[in-house]
Amino acid sequence: MIPIKLPKEQKLEIASRVQGYFEDERSESIGQLGAEQLIDFMISELGPYIYNKAIEDARAFITEKMAQIDDDLYALEKPLRNWNK
């Protein structure tokens, strides 16, 4: 799997949220570098699980849509004449 690289603006926004979380929920202070390192760690550790779940969800969605398309195609079929009469 290709490592996920966040655009700088997104990483800064997420780092700010991580810092806010630590302040609000844990009454701890975490610096910008620490927040960015935590983000990188979480992406490397959780990323494959989240990615695989997204693939599984996409596969289920596509399978469902293909079944619907298959049903629609059967509904479009024209009846055949019985030539044996």
The CA-CA-CA angle for residues 58, 60, 66, to 5°, reads 100
Distance (Å, rounded) from C-alpha 56 to C-alpha 45? 18
Looking at the predicted structure, is the pLDDT value of residue 3 above 80? no
Quick: pLDDT tens for 9-26.
999 999 999 999 999 999
Q: What is the pLDDT at residue 1?
A: 62
Quick: pLDDT tens for 28-76.
999 999 999 999 999 999 999 999 999 999 999 999 999 999 999 999 9
- Tokens at 21, concatenated: 């979380």
Q: What is the pLDDT at residue 25?
A: 97
